[in-house]
Amino acid sequence: MPKKGKGKKKEDAEPPHREVWELAVSGKSWEYPPDELPNALAWPTWGALRERVLTSVETLSIDAWTVPASTRPPDCRLPDDWRPPEVVEAWAQRLEDGVDDAFAAEVVRLSPPLLRTLRLSGCPSLTVLELSPLGCLPALEILDLSRNRGLRRVLIQSDTVTEINLSLCPHLRKALLHCRAMAKLDLRESLALENLRVWSGALDVVDIPDCKRVDVLDLHCPLLHTCRVGRLRPKERAQDLRHAPIALALAEAGAREHAAGLADRKWLHDAATSRAAVPKTRATM
């Protein structure tokens, strides 16, 4: 009678790959929410596969207002741009759940070398984007962050970006843009904007008269000939594009703190040496 032995444990098989992954690599374009990307929690080697997909694309466009054609029923006879209402609603919810600060930071960290267009539009969970330092996303030309109702702050440093869209971001308060080649900046209807600093050697128009909350305006743009920003007008500043906005902002903040410190020390000195503060002694009477 054969001995009863322990059977070998059946190894789990790798789940099948999604078709959109290979299409993204071959077509160099991604237009789906992050939940469609490979996930290392589903299979150990999929972390590397996720990086391969994201670093292969020239266009990364995730837009709440543009639902891919693949979501249409196969037998649909309606116009090509029609999407079922329930599909549009589900699509918007997937973007809200998946496109957040962590995903944007992942794209910046991976720094896809071929990426020319980055569009994250209509994503309410995106609140901050920091594209820094100079050299990350080395081929990027178009950055579209429009219609992001949760976006509050952006820092963009790039030598290649020519166009930035920050329109219709109702809670955007601070924009630091150090983009030497930027020729077009759209800030329409971003009415909460308070702080705008721009370094560009190509920008010639800044026209946002409705942004009346702006109280810090710093434009280093040698070609600028038209500027309407709320009630403010740009200050005459040295047209030097060598320094990053963070360095200048920190320097200015340090200068203000130093001046405040000198004022405090002077006040303490005056208070300490005033006649009311000096006790009456034979030497002071």
Domain chopping of the chain, boundaries: 19-72+79-239, 243-274
Share the mean pLDDT of the chain: 81
pLDDT in tens, 57-114: 999 999 876 766 555 455 544 444 545 566 666 767 776 777 899 999 999 999 999 9
Helix, strand, coil share of the chain (percent; to 5):
25, 20, 55
Give the integer Cα–Cα distance in Å for 66 and 91.
Answer: 9
**pLDDT mean over 212-222:** 93
| Model confidence, pTM | 0.76
Is residue 64 within 8 Å of residue 27, measured between CB atoms?
A: no
The band of 149, judged by pLDDT with boundaries at 50, 70 and 90, is very high
DSSP state of 36: G
Question: What is residue 268's predicted lDDT score, i.e. its pLDDT?
Answer: 55
